[in-house]
Structure 1
Amino acid sequence: MALIREKRFTQMNLSLHVPSRAPLFQEAAARRQCPPPSTSMATPASRSNQFRLADFERVAVLGRGNGGTVYKVRHRETCALYALKVQHSGEPAAAEADILSRMASPFVVRCHSVLPTASGDVALLLELADGGSVDAVVGRRGAFPEAAVAEVAAQALSALAYLHARRVVHLDVKPANLLASTAGEIKVADFGIAKVLPRAGDHCASYVGTAAYMSPERFDPEAHGGHYDPCAADVWSLGVTLLELLVGRYPLLPAGQKPSWAALMCAICFGEPPAPPACAASPELRAFMAACLRKDYRERASVAELLAHPFVAERDVAASRHALRRLVAEASSPSP
């Protein structure tokens, strides 16, 4: 089996220490009176070229990863809230900035501006999803009801349809990279290892990613000719993600088992195709999951086929959106 360049296992999500650097902006020492804070989703795009790093004050750290840190920040003048992703300089950071700056979909996190820093890092000013990641929602509220899973599926598939039509493959779909809002919106985020294919339908040979959500052909490339269909790989990752939402934990290993490289290899490459428990899913959901999680990528359903699947296409949109909105709102409420 070929070596995969990066292995990321901490609770199935990467969480590595980022070396401290000189402050990029001052954190507010005392909060001035502001109107009720708004998120950045409604900020006009025409302001994007007017932003400077000094215009923002740090509110909180939202997350740390191998490439940098994501902050919650407040615009000093308008009090609007944003996410600021500060990435250490390098080719991957520049590539993500380039991809996001060209995206304009309600299902993909919006990049308002790319801000220069004195240290040479890349700082992406992003819209802030007020519900946090889907991974965090699962951590706080547990398993999703089927209606909420259907809504996440519909919106995430819409994002993948938009991306794939533009020859962009994400390659790291997982709960931590799906952001939720209290309005019941889902947005795909973190394009740090995404690729732009030279031509539609091209295969890919990049094996960097989160191992727990990799498809069999990515996990064991030598068994599949050393390359794979990246669009089909995104479908597998989304299938594992949705199954995790349904059962409330990582679904390919027994509860409590350490996600070692060997355990994941056995489960993903040699185990039975993952499926939801019969008692926890409707026939429509079970058929949908089977279409996502076929071991042979040539037999896996396409994004277009999944969008037309009854589990998604025939869902009660109002009820599924309400179920997701309620779940995210409960997870966002302060603990008593």
Structure 2
Amino acid sequence: MALVRDRGQLKLGLRLPERRPRFPPTATTTTTTTTTTEYETVQVLGHGNGGTVYKVVHKKTLDVFALKVVHADSDPMMRRQIFREMEILRRADSPFVVKCHEIFEKPDGDIAILMEYMDAGTLDSFSKNGGVFTEQTLANVARQILNGLNYLHAHKIIHRDIKPANLLVNKNMEVKIADFGVSKIMCRTLDACNSYVGTCAYMSPERFDPDSYGANYNGYSGDIWSLGLTILELYMGHFPLLASGQKPDWATLMCAICFGEPPSLPEGVSDEFRSFIECCLDKDSGKRWTASQLLSHPFCSSSSSRQ
């Protein structure tokens, strides 16, 4: 097995922006004098956005981790995103948010984040590899995501890119929110959050068209819209705003999201499931339920008894 890139010494204790979310003081990242040479690569889990994610094993303990490496020559915007992600991950302390164990900075400028390894990949890959999402399973999935969002929103964090590919899962169907590169840390309650970041397919109507749907909207509700689309997609087996197999483009997505009717579930589902999706996908962001409210929705509140 190949070692992770070169054997250069790394330094810890990265300097982060001064403004930080008010996470609990117990949420810290290990800062022992460790280097990536203590880990051995098992396989590449994915590429993209100027970096690579590896499955690695600690040579002495044989513990398995995911190692996200962002290369020094990556796009400056990607570098800013990774520092934002580091700021959030190193302080997050929730069983529903992927855990960050250590952060390394190499002399050549590469940055590596050592995170917990989720052995079933993402909800997107799980679905594409034949995983089946029944209504009962999705109730449990939705409850876990909402617990993660409720934690983040309580600490003034908006994810802005909730989608199946950013939700990790293990073989026990434990789901955790990941990939905070485009998240926004709200410094004030009324901070605007209507920039075009994240995956446009999962953007809410007010993010696509703030003039029509209200500028300076409550950004937290955008995460709820994305959650609704995610749960609907997992149930239907394809992106719900387009026909199965249709390739999305910006204009088609904008028309579907801003001018089309909100997507709905097919016949045969429970009233609780249909109501839950409607509470997530109300085009009026002010009428969308919050993460806290949705946790008490009958679809989620009874999910533990359905398993």
Q: Write out per-residue CA displacement over residues 144-163 of structure 1, whole angstroms, 9 at most, x where no aligned residue.
A: 10011001100000000000
Deviation at 1:276, TM superposition (A): 0.8
Q: 1:25 Cα deviation (Å)?
A: 5.5
1:63-102 mapped onto 2 (5 Å cutoff): 63-89=46-72, 90-102=79-91
The question of whether the paired residues in 2 share the 8 Å contact of 1:53 and 1:116 is answered with no
Specify the SS of the correspondent of 1:69. strand
Kindly provide the amino acid, as one letter, of the partner of residue 23 in structure 1. R
Structure 1 gaps, min length 5 = 1-21, 27-44, 321-336
Structure with higher helix content? 1
> Which of 83-92 and 60-69 deviates more?
83-92
Partner of 2:13: none
- Aligned residue number for residue 38 of structure 1: none
Contact 2:29/2:102 (<8 A) preserved: no
Aligned position for 2:157: 168
User: For 2:29 and 2:169, how far apart are their aligned partners in 1?
Assistant: 25
Instruction: Provide the C-alpha distance between the structure 2 equivalents of 1:54 and 1:99, rounded to a whole number of angstroms.
Output: 25
1:83-138 deviations in Å (ceiling 9; x for gaps): 01112452221111111100010000000010112321221100000111000111
Task: Describe the superposition over 1:202-258 as per-residue Cα deviations: whole angstroms up to 9, x where unpaired.
Answer: 431322110111101112233234433220000000000000111111111011211
Equivalent position to 2:5, from 14, 19, 23: 23
Query: What is the match of residue 301 of structure 1?
Result: 289
Match of 2:261? 272
Structure 2 residue aligned with 1:286: 274
| Partners of 1:294 and 1:307 in 2: CA distance | 17
- 2-side partners of 1:265 and 1:143: how far apart? 29
Matched length = 279
CA distance in 1: counterparts of 2:279 and 2:102, whole angstroms: 38
Partner Cα separation in structure 2 for residue 198 and residue 151 of structure 1: 32
Aligned-residue Cα RMSD (Å) equals 1.9
If asked which structure has higher relative contact order (CA below 8 Å, sep 6+), I would say 1
Q: 2:193 aligns to what SS in structure 1?
A: coil
SS of alignment partner, residue 119 of structure 1? coil
Say if 2:191 and 2:216, in contact at 8 Å, map to a contact too: no
Equivalent pair of 2:122/2:164 in contact (CA under 8 Å): yes
Which stretch has the larger CA shift, 139-148 or 227-236?
A: 139-148
What is residue 33 of structure 1 aligned with on the other side? none
Aligned residues of 1:53 and 1:117 also touching (Cα < 8 A): no
The one-letter code matched in structure 2 to 1:286 is R
Q: Aligned match of 2:182 in 193, 217, 220?
A: 193
Q: Deviations over 1:42-96 (max 9, x none)?
A: xxx8865243111111111111121411111111111111001112452221111
> Counterparts in 2 of 1:3-22, with a 5 A limit?
none
When the two structures are superposed, what TM-score results if normalisation uses the length of structure 1? 0.79
Measured at CA, do residues 24 and 157 of structure 1 come closer, stay the same or move farther in structure 2, by a change above 3 Å?
Answer: farther
For structure 2, the 5+ residue unaligned runs are: 9-27, 73-78
Is residue 51 from structure 1 mapped to residue 34 from structure 2 by the alignment? Answer: yes
The TM-score with structure 2 as length reference comes to 0.86
> Identity across aligned pairs (percent)?
48
- 2 CA distance for matches of 1:222 and 1:62? 40
